[in-house]
Copies of this chain bind each other. A is one copy, B any other.
Amino acid sequence: MQQYFTVLQNMPIFTGITSDLPKLFSCLGAKVHTYSRNTVVFYGGDRVNRIGIVLKGSVKLLKEDAEGHAVLLAALGVGHLFGEALAFADTAISPVTVVAEDESDILFLEVQHILTVCETSCKFHQVLLTNMLRLMAQKNVYLNQRVELLSKRTIREKLTLYLQQQQTLHNARQFTVPFDRADLADFLCVDRSALSRELCHMRDEGYLTFTKNQFTLL
């Protein structure tokens, strides 16, 4: 456990608690479970009432599609959270299955313990709550942006909005995006080759230039 405190101290969820982590953990009844490779952490359909934090290894989020095969939604490495939204939403059943990708250590925090102020009413509790709130709010803002992006009906509209968002983010007409073409296509939920085609059209029409991941808006 001790060995992970360095990682944990730098996580947004524990910002401002740093030196008192051990105290907080005992107060929260935090528990670490170890999962061997390809073991299920929890199943879709389960009710989730605790937050998971990857301490070692990595986990995959999977979801069954209509035809019944598992689709990979995300892979989370060390320091990543999962289950927060579901756990705090209280009524929510998990739509995803979580599987350990490698041998993994997962730290679990019970939501009830986070929400209920402990007898000794330690201050870190309060800080943890506000940290959670901030995290959740940030994810909310992110998801709203994503919905706006996906609500565009043509590839060009999606690209235009995405590049505008990036321009705003970097506060510059020239910037490097964190995706290669295939990942960008996935992110925008469009076909890679169609994306490539549209990008070149936009270049040929003089709206922008690009080399690999670096874009310049004109």
Task: Report A's interface with B, CB cutoff 8 A.
Answer: 66, 84-92, 95, 115, 117, 126, 129-130, 132-134, 136-141, 143-147, 150-153, 160-161, 164, 189-190
Name the contact of A133 in the complex, choosing from B88, B139, B160, B161 (C-beta under 8 A): B88
In terms of DSSP, what is the predominant structure of the interface of chain A? helix
Name the contact of A143 in the complex, choosing from B115, B117, B143 (C-beta under 8 A): B143
Q: Are A153 and B190 in contact (CB under 8 A)?
A: yes
Q: Which residues of chain B have C-beta atoms less than 8 A from A89's C-beta? A: 134, 137-138, 140-141
How far apart sit A104 and B152, CA to CA, in the bound complex (Å)? Answer: 32
Copies of this protein chain in the complex = 2
Q: Are A141 and B92 in contact (CB under 8 A)?
A: yes
Q: Are B189 and A150 in contact (CB under 8 A)?
A: yes
- Tell me how far the C-beta of A198 lies from the nearest C-beta in chain B, rounded to whole angstroms: 15
| A92 closest partner in B (C-beta) | B141
- Tell me how far the C-beta of A57 lies from the nearest C-beta in chain B, rounded to whole angstroms: 24
- Tell me how far the C-beta of A32 lies from the nearest C-beta in chain B, rounded to whole angstroms: 24
How far apart sit A147 and B85, CA to CA, in the bound complex (Å)? Answer: 15
Q: Which residues of chain B have C-beta atoms less than 8 A from A151's C-beta? A: 150, 189
Most buried by B among A117, A141, A145: A141
Q: Are B147 and A88 in contact (CB under 8 A)?
A: no
Q: Are A133 and B141 in contact (CB under 8 A)?
A: no
Q: Which residues of chain B have C-beta atoms less than 8 A from A66's C-beta? A: 160-161, 164
Q: Are B132 and A88 in contact (CB under 8 A)?
A: no
How far apart sit A190 and B151, CA to CA, in the bound complex (Å)? Answer: 9
How far apart sit A95 and B134, CA to CA, in the bound complex (Å)? Answer: 18
How far apart sit A190 and B152, CA to CA, in the bound complex (Å)? Answer: 9
| A66 closest partner in B (C-beta) | B160
Name the contact of A136 in the complex, choosing from B92, B117, B137, B146 (C-beta under 8 A): B137
- Tell me how far the C-beta of A174 lies from the nearest C-beta in chain B, rounded to whole angstroms: 19
Q: Are B147 and A130 in contact (CB under 8 A)?
A: no
| A191 closest partner in B (C-beta) | B153
With contacts A90-B138, A115-B133, A136-B140 known, what are 4 further pairs, Cβ within 8 A?
A86-B141, A89-B140, A90-B137, A140-B143
